[in-house]
Every structure is written in C-alpha cells, then in structure tokens.
Structure 1
C-alpha cells in the first residue's frame, strides 16, 4: 500500500491545488520586501489547508460541519477579500510600490482564501478518504501537508523570477483583486449560490 498511496496522494494534491500556485505567487508578490510576510503567507496557507483537511477527515468519518448547501457560499470570502484589495489598490493608485502602506497579506486573509478555494478539494477528498481507511487517510494527510510546503516554495519561486516579479510588481495590486473576485464568483456560480 505504501508507495502507491503516496503516489496517489501526490497526484490528487497536484490536481486539486494547481490553482493555488497562482494565488500564492500573487500573495508572495504582494508581500515582497515586507518583513515577516513570507511566514504569514505560509502560516495562512497551512491554516487554511488544515481546515480543508479537518473538514474532509471529519466528513469521511460521517460528521458534517458544512452542509452541501453552504459550500458554494464560501465564495463570499475571496470575493470580499478581492473587493477589499481592489478598494486598497484604488485608494493607493498613483503611488509607487514602495509608497503603498500595506504590510503584506495577513495570516487569516491567506487562510480564508485557501479554505474557500478548497470546497472542491473537500468534495474530492472525502470519498478517497472513506475508501482509503484510517492508515491510507493518514498517509494522504502527511503527504498533503508536506506538499503545502512545496506549493509555498513554488509560489514564492515564481513570484521572485525577474520577469514574473516585474509583472507582479507592476500589476500584482490589480491582478490579486481580479483573481480573488473571479475565484469568489466562480465558487458562487459553480455551486449555484443565490440561485446563480
């Protein structure tokens, strides 16, 4: 069981979290040059993913913290954060990156986006966890938590590549709100929230 479960866990994580690399890159770009922001982003990513994992594990054991009808409304979190980021970008328009007073992303902001973006992850993880049993579920959880660090490293790596960093430095304050609002709208529409 060991190696094949690890391989399956790696594949499942990669497929369900590929969009997180873009979001992480935007967060790392926003926090570039700000003391402690990388730690806050990593902590937020772990906190948000731990929430996803906790809900999926609990659901695999039969508990249901989030009724299916509530999951689409998680889209309100990135939507609200995107609108807040857009408001801040508009308020600070015309200022250089160095003049913007932001201290980089907050732990709970990153965690909220990660958790809200994980509604589909939960839906995929629950049946896998149920069939994997307790031992397999433990392997999945450990592999997923290791891969969160890899994802954070990849997000930071992309955000610091000169060509990408230049684009994100110039346009990140616009791209992050757009991505968050789009993500929020996608979650709301895909889940049929508000009759959409």
Structure 2
C-alpha cells in the first residue's frame, strides 16, 4: 500500500519535471488550429508521441540495454525538418485551409493522419531526454507501482493538453500567438531540434554529425524542389 501511495507523487513529479517545456509547444500548436489542423490532431499526436517515449523507456523496467543518448538525439532532426517545411511552404497554408478531402472523414484516415504523426514526432523529439528520467524510474518500480505511475503519466498528458489549450484562450496570449504564431513556429521548431542535438551530444560524433547534416540537407533540397514545382509558383 505504501508503494502505491508513493508511486502517485513520483509519477507527478517525474512527468512535470520532464514535460514543462511541452506547454509552450502545445500552446503554439493550438494557436495554429484551422480546417486541416484540428484540436484532436494535437491531442492524439501528443498521446501517440508520449506513448512512444514510454515504450522506449520500459526496457529499463526489464533491465535491458537502451539506445545510446547520442543516437536518441538524432530525433532532433524531426522538428528541424518540420520547421524547414513550414518555412518553405508557408504561402500554401492559407489555400490548403479551404480544401478538405472526403477521406478525412473516415476513421482510418483520422488515425493515420499526417497531422497526428507530425505532432507525435515533435513530442518524441522534444521528449527524447525524458527517457533518461523514465528509465531509472521504471527500473526502480515494482509490478504494483508501475501501472500506477503509467496511469498518472497518461492522465497528465490530458491535463497538459487542456492547460495549453486554455492558455491560448487568454486574450493577450491568444492574440500574440494568432498574429505571430505562424511566423515564429518554424524557427522555434528548428531551434528545438538544434537544442536536442546539442543536449544529447549527437554533434560530438563526426559520423552522427555527417548523418544529421545529410538528413537536413536532403530535407531542404526535397522541400525546395517541391516548392518550385508547385502550381502556385508556376502561375507566378
């Protein structure tokens, strides 16, 4: 019984300490909601990404080996790629808001929505350092306390999403995010990716640095080619 009582504050503390920065990212996401990017995309993506982080940390409970931190840091490429895509294709966002295809109404289309995976990818990348906290926490847990900690974690994801959404409803914050959010989100995502790469010591390895630069360069080239081939550019 004592283990169950201590598991709740342990879960609350671990989640809050490792996800406090997610409030900012989630608030920015909620400020960009439109016809193609709904609130449920953000909530579903946050849950999906957090589930991936928990699954990656569970081997600590079983005493298995974990992927090296430097390799985990390569997840920082994901927000950089999304930020670059937003910068290059920002002119297409308004025109895309008016188009909503029929397959988006199907359950499978919603589950496999690219918007959901985009949010999930940012969640995983931003939370890659969470694994270093969750692994020892899970390793020190028992069969009785682990489910309690996991229940606290997944409950807090919902609380975090709601808190971020409520922040965007505050007049001062909402007006600022609405007016400048679309312009600053790409740079925040790129900065987040660079921070993750540096914090995880990924760039201290020459081979990982080369792989990172190759991946980012490929992303820039692909997005540039797609942009110049787009109908909007051809019309101009």
Q: TM-score range by the shorter chain?
A: 0.7 to 0.9
TM-score normalised to structure 1 length: 0.88
Unaligned residue ranges in structure 2 (runs of 5+)? 101-113, 210-236
User: Residue in 1 aligned with 2:63?
Assistant: 62
Q: How many residues of Structure 1 are paired with residues of Structure 2 in the alignment? A: 189
Root mean square deviation, CA, Å:
2.2
- Greater C-alpha Rg: 2
Residues 21 and 154, structure 1, Cα contact 8 Å, conserved in 2: yes
Separation (CA, whole Å) in 2 of partners of 1:88 and 1:62: 45
- Once the two structures are superposed, the pairs formed by residues 101-180 of structure 1 within 5 Å of their partners are 101-102=96-97, 106-180=115-189
CA displacement 1:107-164 (0-9 Å, x = unmatched): 0000000011111111111001111122222111110000000000011111121111
Return the offset for 1:65. Answer: 6.2
Partner of 2:88: 87
Structure 1: how far apart are the matches of 2:190 and 2:171?
A: 26
Partner SS, residue 186 of structure 1: helix
What is the CA distance between 1:194 and its match in structure 2?
A: 3.0
* 1:66-85 deviation digits (Å, cap 9, x = unpaired): 33331111110111111112
Q: Where in structure 1 are there 5+ consecutive unaligned residues?
A: none
Spell out the pairing of 1:14-33 with structure 2 (5 A cutoff).
Answer: 14-31=16-33, 33=34
